[in-house]
Structures are given as structure tokens and as C-alpha cells.
Structure 1
Amino acid sequence: MRRTMGNLPPKLHDVAHEPGLVVPAADGSALLSDHYFPLAAGDFPTVLVRSPYGRGFPWAPMYGVHLAEQGFHVVLQSCRGSGGSGGEADLWRNEAADGQATVAWLRQQPWFTGVLGTIGASYLGYVQWALALDPPPELRAMVVQVGLHDLHAFFHPGGAFSLETALTSTMGRLSQHQGMKESVRAALRLQRHMGKISRTLPLGEVYAAGLGGRVPYLEEVMAHPDPADPHWHGADAGVAAERLTVPTALITGWHDALLDQTLQQYARLGRAGCDASLLIGPWTHNSAPGGPEALTASLAWLRAHLCDDPADLRESRVRVHVGGRRTWHDLPHWPPPATDRRWYLGSGGTLRDRAPEDTAAPLSFRYDPADPTPSVGGPLLSPKAGSRDNTALEARDDVLTFTTAPLTEPLDVIGPVRAELRVTTDTGHADVFARLCDVDDRGRSVNVCDGLRRLHLTEDGPAEVTVDMSATAHRFAAGHLIRLQISGGAHPRFARNTGTGEPLTTATRLQPSEISLHHPSALALPLADADFDARGPAH
């Protein structure tokens, strides 16, 4: 397993393994757990990892073996209904209670010293927030890697259904705990059917072929797009961060599908006065947790707070990778001081610092859900994630582009990005997808960050619409151009807007939409202060 990971630090201890231990949940369900521990005399703190994706690869080498070699007891547990554990699998309703029951079991183990940490990626981060809703006194540290706290926002970001992410994550949840062979088989099946799923209605029926059958919880997710719906009661564990005192390390990537949730967690922890660190790299959701920077930061955080050994802990609490420069930057907090600057959308595809006259003609395009604007790169769960060449996408008639003149000097953008638009649509139902791109001196346009917002417009005149485009730390080099894309979707990353207002699962009709941008509409970028370079280049 060490050879599989490849970038683990030298081991300090040989490791032993107790597989298949039974941890009783509060309702008596058996939660199967593997115990990894150092073969050495002395007391060692414990790290708890809870997963619905099985206890094998990659969790066993990345957490079990690696951390036990470094001097920790590690309990790697399968969530209920997965990996041989009893009980019914559920998206969220049992995680807090099952986490507490596991801590109660730990208290009975002769090797447990009363010093506990947690670690995990993606949904393995969600279970940490669930435990932190009522943190046990033994909990001394958390490491949340590309983690989520809000399940509604995971499935319905910006109000649109995150189709590709929902199918990919559901496929993993259904198959990965059954072993590598079944996981690969399920991934290939979804890949074979994705084209048909993305072209065929109603979505509530056609999706099943890609997952080997109907999935009730996914149908419930699709049928309840409103975050205020009682269906989602208790699904957002992020309230834990508002009062947490447990030191927490957050790790994400600029192209992580859960970047926004991680930044929300950091902001909440900051308001609570909790000791928190933030590491953002040039990573996707899949590449971030196992990278050497993430592994080093995670281990340093656990050693500092569980072993009273802060020797390897970064002095600065925030470290971000600056795209375009390919350098790391240390910061005292996120976001750092910045000055908002607006570039206004103009005729002829221009981006300028002065707004056109209000009487200038609106800028319009036609979105046809029968030929939806495709998604290219960005924050996905698949290998297609990340920065990609947008040239072919921008050649489509349903994608408007607005571009600055070549920059005369470098421009550092750091912080949340947004598009401030005045929008009308003839159907009242439309999506607005906005993407920031860096265009180099060869004309290659590469995506930096983006966002989508689903609209239900009823007023006659233009609606004031802000599209939050996530956040970035990126340098636009001298001679490069800043570009803003505006389109009506990014399919199949987001389920296409049918234009009819029909419910997602049962919609059968497609209605093209005319979407118009009225003046003044603008791209708002946070520009780094003049002392950005002096304040924090990382070495």
C-alpha cells in the first residue's frame, strides 16, 4: 500500500492491522471498522475515519497505514449500509449519532488515550462536521479535505441540479464499498450511458440505466430543489463551524467541486474564533487529498494538536497557490485585502472600465436545450475537471465572450469573483453561466473560475442578477487578456434548463430561450493590494 501511494514520508513504525471489528451503533447496527496501529511501546493518539466508500483503496494506504506508521491509532469505519456494516444507508440522517456511538466505543478500548482527531475527504469530511455538531470532549483536531457540509448545495449549486456530479458521486457511493472490480464496472456503465442520460427526458426515469437501477435517495434529491423544503431538514451540518472550538485544517483546490463550501467553512470558523488553517492548491476534487502538500499539512496539523508537536506546522494559517505564476503564497487570512474593480460588458465583445450608455442595445443570445451549451473543464468530480482550452466552446453562437485589451502589466486577482448582470429572458426560465478565462498571447483561452445561477423571472424589465463565480488566486500576465464568458448553461455538469418551468424529474418538453444582457452589466474582480508580493510569498 505504501508503494501505491508513492509520496508518503518515511515510516516511523511498523504497523499492525485488526480488520472487521464490530462497533455497535446506538440502534444496535454493527459498524465494521479496521484498526491500524504502530507496533511500538507507548501511548498514541487516535484518528477516526468514517467512510461510505469502503475501507480499502485509497483510504487504507492514505489514512490507515500512513498515519499508523507516523504514530497514531487509526480506526477506519464503514458507514452504515456500506462495506459490510449493518443498518440502512442514508445520505445524512445517522452520521451524527453513529459518530457519537463510535466515540463511546473508543472510550472502552484499552489503547485509547482520550486524545482524538478526525480526518477525511469529500463525504468523509461531512461525517466530521456531523460529529462536530456536538463535539465530544476527546476531539482535539479535525482535518477536512475537499469536504462538504451542505448536501443541498452539493446537489443544487446556484439553484440548478448538478447532474454529472450527482451521478458520479452516487455511482461511487453505490459501488466503491464493494471493491475495486465493482467500482470500475459501475464507472464504465455510467460512462456508456451518460450520453443518453444527458439527451433524453424525463430525467427522473432515464438516469437509472447509468446506475444499474433506480436510486430512491437520488430521486428524492432531484424532486426537492428548494433548500427550505422539509426534506433537507438536518442535511446542513455547517452550523457546527459557527460555534466550534476544535482546531480545524481545511484543504481544497481551485478546481474542487466543493471549493465554495470549504471557503464557507473557513469563514464560519473565523467568526467563531476557532483556530483554523486553509490550504488551496492547483487541484481538482480527486487530486487534492493525496498530494504531497496536502499530506504534509494534514500530518503536521494532527501532530501539533494531538501530539503537542508543532515543529512542522506552518506559521501562516493560509497558503494558496497563485495560478498564472505557479507559486505558493502565505497569507494571514482569507480573503486577503483586495480592491474590487469592474469591467463593463460592451458591444463587439469588449470589456472596458467604463459603462456603455444605458440606451445601448442589449446583448442577446439564444439558448436551445435541445442542443445545450456543453461543459468544458471546471470543478467536477471526474478526470475532465480543471483548466481546459475553451476555444471550441467560445466559437458557439450560444456563448457570448467579452474581452479586455492586452494587459500592459500583470494583474493579480485574489478573492471572490462575480458577474453583476441585468438580464431579461422571453420564457422567464433560464440559467446564466459565467466564466472567467485567461487568454494568452497565442489566443488560447483557459478557464479560471465560474458559476451558474438559475433564474425564474416574472418582472417586465431587466432583473438585477449576481452570478457568484467562486474564488481564485490568479495572475494575468502582461500581454494576456481577461475574458468573461456568458452562456445559458454548462451541460451535463448542470442539468439543462428546459425553459418550461416543469419539475426536473418529470419535464418532457424543451423550450428555447432568448437571453438578453442589458447595460450596465459588469465583471467584478478583486485586485490584490500593492503589497501582496511583499506580504507572503511562500518558500
Structure 2
Amino acid sequence: MRPHPNDAPTRTGWTPPGGRPPLSSRLLRATWRGLPGRRYRAGRERSLPVAAADGSVLVTDHYFPRSPGDFPTLLVRSPYGRGLPWSPMYGVLFAEQGFHVVLQSCRGTGGSGGRWHLWRNESADALATVEWLRRQVWFDGRLGTVGPSCLGYTQWALAADPPPELKAMAVQVGLHDPHRFFHAGGALHLENALVSGVGMTHQHRGVLRFAAAANRLRRDLGRIAAAWPMRPAWRRALGEEARWLDDALGHPDADDPYWDGASPGGAADGSRVPTALVTGFHDALAGQSFEQYARLRAAGCEVSLLAGPWTHGTALQQGWAEGFAEMLAWLRAHLCDDPSALRPTRVRVHVGGANVWRDLDDWPPAADPSPWFAAPAGRLGRGRPEAPGLLASFRYDPADPTPSVGGPLLSPGAGPRDNRALEAREDVITFTGEPLTAPLEVVGPVSALVRVSADSGRCHVFVRLCDVDGRGRSVNVCDGLGVLDAEREAVVELAVPMGAAAHRFAAGHRIRWQVSGGAHPRYARHPGTADPVAEAAAGTPVRITLRPGSALLLPETGEVRPSG
């Protein structure tokens, strides 16, 4: 075991300089509660030049413990700038716990040279940064990575060709597959795409400019989503600087050569780098985190998973104390030979509805999917109904698209929400079970089998699982969207993934299955025709009919003792 850093000698030729983190970072850091106590005072070297793979200068800040000794290094590569909140969350906090932290602006952002692109340069620039690290006298050869969202993507980009120094990763609400983020399931994820585009285009320029751009998008989102066609409207709103996003939204086919090399997720298939994953069940990237876990487990890689009751944003706010503790314990275990804070199981999940945390041996836990069948008169039950013909029919109108309410969004309206007003619309149908006589827990991937037809043969089918309490309040648990592309009136069986859940339906509550023709502007509306969604010049109303045999598939699990 390595000696404690306080007992280690100062590395030859380097004395910690006296620079302090910016005042704004120190003030924000002081507001956080529930974090471990500070071990060291943090220092900072500002705006160090690091050569990118093409020779551009990558502007880099170095945070460090203001104490002699050897400390491992964490690499944090960000397209969002190096100021708030990244400076206090990753620079200051981890330096206080005994790490060098290299916080770097990606190419074309935050003062770094070159041109920004989401996936073209990150692997090469990360390796160039590691080469720079090798020449730093304070770098002792122990390297980890940490960060959320697109900072997770930059970690996977390094892991695609991992240097020997890379000993641990901590990926928080992280991205690895851009195509899946923009186009999963055959639908354009419009709202999340535009919100992410604003963040990547403006956040590295400072809080005020980013806030102004976010407010403009909030004001213009409805106009963009309602435009026929949409693409010129979002082009005007995003501007020339976000041309990469316009290109990404305009290439829906995953097999298009445009996407070659975009996803470094294959790194997980042969990875030997111990990796901690932190996600939220209402995170827009939760599906990618669960996929990362499955691929790492299949590869025999050491991996842990923490899944909380969070959205993409609240994982970095209300969930920050839990997430930070998880990542810190992992990085200490694998970079400092100190496993004392690791939990005994690979997986820890928060069970909604019960408000408890559960420790699990693996994800997902063993559970055979149990079908809950839609039945006439809006009923939902375990028995397969014998009714012939149809269960329900509704009209979806692209000129008045069914709105989105809550769910896995990047915007502030994400997460669980009351769905009663949505369910009162004529273009939303629901199937509801009887009040439960005992609690029922659903833990694992949820899906739906939808037997459906449409008079045009083309539509979206949005399905959602809700928990209805004794007052009739209907709250979303998870959801998914399928795409029907068939002959007119042909009955098709759609298997629709609905994400993962860990939720207890209390005794007296009811299980509800919600079905509609979309969730707008979360997904770009389907025009009801064969025209590409982004290019359609007009829409046509569609009559959508649900057929017997349609069912929710719920991974029901037995009672498990809470872990705390």
C-alpha cells in the first residue's frame, strides 16, 4: 500500500505554488452540505498551454493539494468551460481530497484553439494531454478521469485507446453514443438536442452568456418545434456556430457514414479500467449508463453503478453529495489503494415510491417480465382479454401535437410530474389497474408490446408507466416511444423499450399505462406522412388504433430489505 500523501516526499523539482482557486469557486464550494471534510487546502495554476493533437493550444487549469507529497491525477476535459460549476465541483473538491486535477477546455471552447466538434477530436486530444502529463514533474503515473454528461464522453474517448497510466474512471450521467442521444428509437429527440446544443455553444463563454442563450431557446422552442419545415427554424435559432448540431440532426440513420467513429462506447467491450457509473432514473442519458454497465460487466471489467432519483440536472444538485461520495470512494480505491469506503455490492439504486436505497449484487436483478394487459373500458390487468377487434382509438393531429410532460429531459421540467391534465386530452388514452392490495415493486428494464395500426400506416406511439395514488394523481415512472411505418391499416406489433425503473407502487395505488401519438417538443412531431420529420412541409392527422394483446411488461421483484 502506498504511504499516506502526507508521509510522501515532495517530488523533485516541483513545489506547490501559492495560487488559490477563484473566489466564485470558493464561495460556491462553501454552500454545499453533506460532503466529506477537507483534507488539504486547494491551489491552482491557471491557463496552462497544452498542445492538442493538431498543435492547437488547449487551455488548462491545474488544481492541487497545497501540501508536499505524491498525489494521483484526475483528468477532466470539458466543452463547457473551466469556471462555474466545474471549477469547484471537480477542481477544488477533489484537490481538497488529495488529487491533482487537470481541468481542460476542449478544442474550440473556453479559449482553446481549433474548432469544436462533439466527437471528431476528443480521443486524439486526450492522448496528447496524457503525453503532456508525462512531462510534468508532479505527475506520478497514477491517472484517473471524472466528470458528467459530455465530460463523460471525453472519458470514453480516452478509454478507446487507454494509456497505461489510466487506472480508474468515474462517469456521471455520461454520454458515449451521440447518435442514440439525438435519434434513438427512430425519432428526433428535439428538445434535448437543442438544449444540449445551446450548452455546448454558449456555456464555455460564461454564466451570463449561457443564461441569455438558454432564455432565448426557452422563448423560441415552441416556434421552432411548430415550424413547417423545422430545419430552417432551428438553423436560424442555433446560428453558424452550431453547424455541427444541424448536421447531426439531419442524419437520422445510424448506419450513415456520417456517424463513423462517433461512439467510443465499444471501449467498454474490452475495457480493463475500473469504472464507476452514476446516473439517475430520470436522466436523459440513463439508458447509456445502463448500457455502459452491461458492456463492462460482460467484459469482466470491475464496475459499480449508483442510480438515484435524479434527472440530468438534479444529479449535479440534489444528488451531488451521493454522487461525489461514490466517485471519491472509487477513485481512492483504485488510485490510492484505499478501498475502505467502497460498498460491498456492485449496485445501489433508489426505489421511488418507497424512498429507500437498495444494494444489489448486479443490474438488472433477476425478474421475469410480467405482462399487464390493456382491456376494454380503460382497464389494465394480468389476464389477457378475449375482446376482438380494437381496444381504443384516437386521433393524433400534428397541428396540435400531444405535449410532453416531465420525463428524461435536460430542461428544468424533467422528472416525475402530475399527468392528469395531459391524460384529460382526447389524444391520450389510459389503461388503469385496480387498487393494489399489497405493495408491488418494479426493478429493472420496463417495456411494452403494442399491437397497433394507423390509417396512414405511419405514426409515433408514445407509452408511459404511471403511479396513480388514492387522490387520482398520476405520476410518470418511465416511458418510451416507438415508430410505426407500415401499410395503411396494417396491424403491427411494436416492442417499445421504456427505460429502467426502480419503483414501489404502494398498496391502494393503481398502475396506469398511458398511450398517445407523441410527446412534443421532447420528440419532434411525426407528420403522419412518409416525409422526413425535419423536412416535412405539412402534417396530416392520423387515426391510431390499439388492438387486443397490447401489454406492459413489468420486471416485478419481491420485497428486499432497505440498505439504509
TM bin, normalised by shorter chain, reads over 0.9
Partner of 1:188: 215
Once the two structures are TM-superposed, the CA of residue 218 in structure 1 deviates from its matched residue by 1.7
Asked whether the equivalents of residues 456 and 487 of structure 2 are also in contact (C-alpha less than 8 Å), the reply is no
Asked whether the equivalents of residues 455 and 489 of structure 2 are also in contact (C-alpha less than 8 Å), the reply is no
Partner of 1:400: 429
Alignment partners' CA distance in 2, 1:406 and 1:211: 48
Partner of 1:538: 563
Partner of 1:426: 455
Query: 2:338 aligned with 1:309, yes or no?
Result: yes
Partner of 2:22: none
Asked whether the equivalents of residues 173 and 283 of structure 2 are also in contact (C-alpha less than 8 Å), the reply is yes
Partner of 1:297: 326
What are the superposed Cα offsets for residues 348-374 of structure 1, whole Å, 9 maximum, x if unpaired?
A: 100021222262434211110100000
Runs of 4+ in 1 over 6 A off after TM superposition: none
Residue of 137, 154, 158 corresponding to 1:110: 137
> AA paired with 2:292?
Q
Asked whether the equivalents of residues 170 and 277 of structure 2 are also in contact (C-alpha less than 8 Å), the reply is yes
Residues 365-514 of structure 1: matches in 2 within 5 Å? 365-458=394-487, 461-514=490-543
What are the superposed Cα offsets for residues 41-84 of structure 1, whole Å, 9 maximum, x if unpaired?
A: 11000000000000001110000000011100000000000001
Range with bigger deviation, 307-316 or 211-220:
211-220
> AA paired with 2:88?
P
Range with bigger deviation, 144-153 or 284-293:
284-293
Partner of 2:39: 12
Asked whether the equivalents of residues 47 and 119 of structure 1 are also in contact (C-alpha less than 8 Å), the reply is yes
Partner of 1:224: 251
Asked whether the equivalents of residues 461 and 483 of structure 2 are also in contact (C-alpha less than 8 Å), the reply is yes
Asked whether the equivalents of residues 186 and 211 of structure 1 are also in contact (C-alpha less than 8 Å), the reply is no
Alignment partners' CA distance in 2, 1:38 and 1:125: 24
Asked whether the equivalents of residues 191 and 210 of structure 1 are also in contact (C-alpha less than 8 Å), the reply is no
Partner of 1:138: 165
1:288 match: secondary structure: helix
Alignment partners' CA distance in 1, 2:249 and 2:182: 8
Range with bigger deviation, 138-147 or 13-22:
13-22
Once the two structures are TM-superposed, the CA of residue 278 in structure 1 deviates from its matched residue by 0.2
1:43 match: secondary structure: coil
Partner of 2:14: none
> AA paired with 1:56?
G
Partner of 2:551: 522
TM-score, normalised to structure 1, is 0.97
2:487 match: secondary structure: coil
Asked whether the equivalents of residues 289 and 295 of structure 1 are also in contact (C-alpha less than 8 Å), the reply is no
Once the two structures are TM-superposed, the CA of residue 489 in structure 1 deviates from its matched residue by 0.3
Once the two structures are TM-superposed, the CA of residue 459 in structure 1 deviates from its matched residue by 7.3
In structure 2, stretches of 5+ residues that fail to align are: 1-24
Asked whether the equivalents of residues 2 and 66 of structure 1 are also in contact (C-alpha less than 8 Å), the reply is no
Alignment partners' CA distance in 2, 1:333 and 1:351: 31
Q: How many residues align?
A: 535
1:210 match: secondary structure: helix
Partner of 2:270: 243
What are the superposed Cα offsets for residues 224-244 of structure 1, whole Å, 9 maximum, x if unpaired?
A: 101011100011111000000
Partner of 1:129: 156
Alignment partners' CA distance in 2, 1:459 and 1:445: 34
Asked whether the equivalents of residues 45 and 72 of structure 1 are also in contact (C-alpha less than 8 Å), the reply is yes
> AA paired with 1:471?
A
Asked whether the equivalents of residues 149 and 173 of structure 2 are also in contact (C-alpha less than 8 Å), the reply is yes
TM-score, normalised to structure 2, is 0.93
What are the superposed Cα offsets for residues 202-260 of structure 1, whole Å, 9 maximum, x if unpaired?
A: 11111134335573212211221010111000111110000001000000001100000
> AA paired with 1:151?
P
> AA paired with 1:254?
F
Alignment partners' CA distance in 2, 1:165 and 1:322: 25
Query: 2:64 aligned with 1:40, yes or no?
Result: no
Range with bigger deviation, 186-195 or 360-369:
360-369
Partner of 1:233: 260
Partner of 2:380: 351
> AA paired with 2:553?
A
Query: 2:99 aligned with 1:72, yes or no?
Result: yes
Asked whether the equivalents of residues 204 and 504 of structure 1 are also in contact (C-alpha less than 8 Å), the reply is no
Partner of 2:82: 55
In structure 2, the CA distance between the partners of 1:214 and 1:400, relative to structure 1 (3 Å rule), is farther
Alignment partners' CA distance in 2, 1:362 and 1:410: 28
Alignment partners' CA distance in 2, 1:324 and 1:384: 20
> AA paired with 1:457?
A
Alignment partners' CA distance in 2, 1:498 and 1:242: 38
In structure 2, the CA distance between the partners of 1:214 and 1:305, relative to structure 1 (3 Å rule), is closer
Asked whether the equivalents of residues 194 and 210 of structure 1 are also in contact (C-alpha less than 8 Å), the reply is no
Alignment partners' CA distance in 2, 1:190 and 1:522: 37
Alignment partners' CA distance in 2, 1:284 and 1:210: 26
What are the superposed Cα offsets for residues 360-394 of structure 1, whole Å, 9 maximum, x if unpaired?
A: 43421111010000000000001100100000000
Range with bigger deviation, 458-467 or 368-377:
458-467
Alignment partners' CA distance in 2, 1:143 and 1:12: 21
Asked whether the equivalents of residues 525 and 533 of structure 2 are also in contact (C-alpha less than 8 Å), the reply is no
What are the superposed Cα offsets for residues 90-135 of structure 1, whole Å, 9 maximum, x if unpaired?
A: 1101111111111011001000000000001000001111111111
Asked whether the equivalents of residues 454 and 490 of structure 2 are also in contact (C-alpha less than 8 Å), the reply is no
1:519 match: secondary structure: coil
Asked whether the equivalents of residues 454 and 489 of structure 2 are also in contact (C-alpha less than 8 Å), the reply is no
1:292 match: secondary structure: helix
Alignment partners' CA distance in 1, 2:452 and 2:40: 62
1:268 match: secondary structure: helix
What are the superposed Cα offsets for residues 469-521 of structure 1, whole Å, 9 maximum, x if unpaired?
A: 00100000000000000000000000000112212332111111111111111
Once the two structures are TM-superposed, the CA of residue 462 in structure 1 deviates from its matched residue by 1.1
In structure 1, stretches of 5+ residues that fail to align are: none
Alignment partners' CA distance in 2, 1:125 and 1:447: 27
Residue of 83, 102, 105 corresponding to 2:110: 83
2:297 match: secondary structure: helix
Alignment partners' CA distance in 2, 1:232 and 1:24: 27
Identical positions, percent: 58
Partner of 2:7: none
Residue of 164, 175, 180 corresponding to 1:153: 180
Query: 2:122 aligned with 1:98, yes or no?
Result: no
Alignment partners' CA distance in 1, 2:469 and 2:312: 26
> AA paired with 2:563?
A
Partner of 1:326: 355
